[in-house]
Structure 1
Amino acid sequence: MEQNLDQMKYPIGKFQQPLHIDKQQIDHWISIIEAFPKQLSEEVRNLREQDLEKQYRPGGWTIRQVLNHCADSHMNSMIRFKLALTEDTPTIKPYHEDRWAGLSDSKDIPVESALKMLEGLHERWVHLLKGLSESDLERQFIHPDNDALISLKTNIGIYAWHCEHHLAHVRNAKLR
């Protein structure tokens, strides 16, 4: 049962950082980030309001909450990229994702606002990512939850994984 729950939580597995991250890998990850808003829109295009309340696992978020979480999370990530590009190894501000997902702008609002946010945000984010130099990609920030130093090139991979992770959640919720 626990293995089944873990599979529902992480349908594509947890992020695995490659030992070596090259330009080809980064370009692949950026293409995933670039395609995400359109893929997400296509997944929810014909869903009824009651379908948006389906959960990807028992006790998990609804499709609506997943979409709004992605808007929140990716907005935070863009800010973290900008902080790392403009400050020397900044400590980023974490946030309580579960509490944010419980707020009315995650639970009660039509998903179109999250989709519009993701479309515009990803357009800007991808433009920024494609313009990063080799030295930019090595810049880092500190995540205070575990005092981890995270490079921007690694964070691109984390967010490509994040896109695919939550796209799988939406697809799985539609099947429940």
Structure 2
Amino acid sequence: MPTVGRPEAGEYALYFERYVALVPGEDPVAALEEQATTAGRMLRGLSEAGAGFRYAAGKWSVREVVGHCADAERVFGYRALSFARGEKAALPPFDENEFARLAGHDGVALAELLDEFAAVRAATLHLLRHLPAAAWQRRGVASGKEISVRAIAFVMAGHVEHHVAILSEKYGVPPRG
């Protein structure tokens, strides 16, 4: 796999800087691989009652956070695939709150949601590991903003880091180790 390198500021919308900044190093695939083994570990021992916890009214439950991470990774993965393959059509935004409301994640066991996230992440990794070098630089428009494939990979990793931090800070889930 070619060295990807960090995306430059012009490769993604300013909104995504908060995610890109959370990813160390130059290799988003390495960050995604590390998360594949550690992110789920922090939640595996949580009870089903704990998985239903919301830190405030109107906030997602732990289950909904995990389901959201899987859904977001699917969306970002489709964007990466599309732009890597040269898609010229602009891709629509997705309403994360509407996705969460309609998903029914609170009716799914936490272990099942963690398995689902692991499966989605495995598919993401298979896609990214086999991209030709030129594909990482390709760009497309999603949510009305231009973004490169390598920026999407960093956003995916940073998005999960963001939610891992929230699970630790707001939900009281012990940090992964």
TM class, shorter-chain normalised? Answer: 0.7 to 0.9
Say yes or no: does 1:160 pair with 2:157: yes
Partner of 1:127: 126
TM superposition outliers: structure 1 runs of 4+ over 6 Å: none
Distance 1:57 1:97, change over 3 A: same
Question: Superposition pairs for residues 1-176 of structure 1, below 5 Å?
Answer: 14-16=18-20, 25=26, 27=27, 29-56=28-55, 59-144=58-143, 147-175=144-172
Matched-pair contact (CA < 8 Å) for 1:83–1:90: no
CA RMSD of aligned residues (A): 2.4
Which consecutive residues of structure 2, in runs of 5 or more, have no partner in the other structure? 1-16
SS at match of 1:102: helix
Q: What is the Cα deviation at residue 58 of structure 1?
A: 5.5
SS at match of 2:104: helix
More helix, by proportion: 1
Distance 1:123 1:16, change over 3 A: closer
Aligned AA (1:41): G
The alignment's TM-score, normalised by the length of structure 2, stands at 0.76
Distance 1:150 1:78, change over 3 A: same
Aligned AA (2:82): L
Matched-pair contact (CA < 8 Å) for 1:71–1:117: yes
Which consecutive residues of structure 1, in runs of 5 or more, have no partner in the other structure? 1-12, 18-23
Number of equivalences: 155
Distance in structure 1 (CA, Å) of the matches to 2:160 and 2:112: 18
